[in-house]
Amino acid sequence: MRRRASLVLLALCVFLAAMAPTLRWYAFPRLAKIPPNQYQETVLEAKPAVLLNYSTLKSEKVDKITIVQTLKGNVEESKRIERDAGRDVVVWDSLSYVMGPDGKMVSKIPERYVFDAHTQDPVHATGESVDGDPVRREGIEFKWPFLTEKRDYQYFDAQTRTSAPIHYQGTRTFRGLEVYYFEQTVPWTRVPMPKTMPVQGITPDVLAKTGLTRWYTTKRMFWVDPVTGAPVNGEEIHKEELRNARALMGQDTLTVFEGHVKMREDYVTSVVELVRSNRLMVLLLVSYLPWGFTALALLLLALSLWLEARSRRPGPDTGAGAEPAPVTAPV
């Protein structure tokens, strides 16, 4: 009976020992992915800020500028691209909507971002764009890969339509989470005019004829959860200018927007809570279950060997050395 129990425990040990690496190296890369129908809204603010008043054509200090960023998964486009790409694809239709202190639109920049659901690598497909202009992204945008590494990544900048390194600057603690801190500085770069302008009748073509050019620089900062790859906080020190503006506005350079953009506190809190719940699912696949199965397999192996050793011990002494009892025949 002990030998049979020993064999059963040994079989369970082998099963668990096989499941541990299978979960980590086979199941995790296939199960951990971004859902195609994800929707997310984030509100950022710059308080105070400098904003161009298009009525007076002067840069003015204002109390607050609000930026609403939305990401909406386009399931139909994901399915269409997946048929050709042969892998799980996510399509995010995003919009960055900037409002002045009066709530009126300052600018809005739509994007379509196509990427691999598992690795977050860009997938080049028809429709990949920024503000209606076709682009070919290299590197990441919005989200880091699962199990983010302590290294630099290529990060796509929607204003310049180019990618550049975003640098790992160390490990920090943010709201009780251990996170990786990344920074990227985009130097002054000439960028396209937004397709949608805050003044009706003014278009990029009209501005181009006046000789006006738009320039931009920013320092981009992210605090990233290394397990899920999701930023739990993001900030930008952002500045935009119109140059060659003397003929139209009376001076060579005008500040269009300047401010330190930060996530609004209630959105930081909600993002941290969401990341806490999502990281548990990832850790189950990459750490808790594999290591738990390994420890349990070792325990079952030890118990199996102990039962096997017990089953091989000789039984109690049966008195083999004693003299046999006399046998008497019946009379």
Report, as an integer, the average pLDDT of 87-99.
95
- Mention every residue, 6+ apart, whose C-beta is less than 8 A from residue 53: 59, 60
CA 187/CA 18 separation, integer angstroms: 51
CA 240/CA 256 separation, integer angstroms: 5
> pLDDT above 90 covers what percent of the chain?
59
- Mention every residue, 6+ apart, whose C-beta is less than 8 A from residue 296: 16
Hey, what amino acid is at 37?
A: N
Convert the pLDDT of each residue in 131-166 to its tens digit: 999 999 999 999 999 999 999 999 999 999 999 999
User: Would you place residue 88 in the very low, low, confident or very high pLDDT band (cuts 50, 70, 90)?
Assistant: very high
Whether the predicted pLDDT of 109 surpasses 70: yes
Question: pTM higher than 0.85 for the full model?
Answer: yes
Whether the predicted pLDDT of 126 surpasses 50: yes
Convert the pLDDT of each residue in 179-195 to its tens digit: 999 999 999 999 999 99
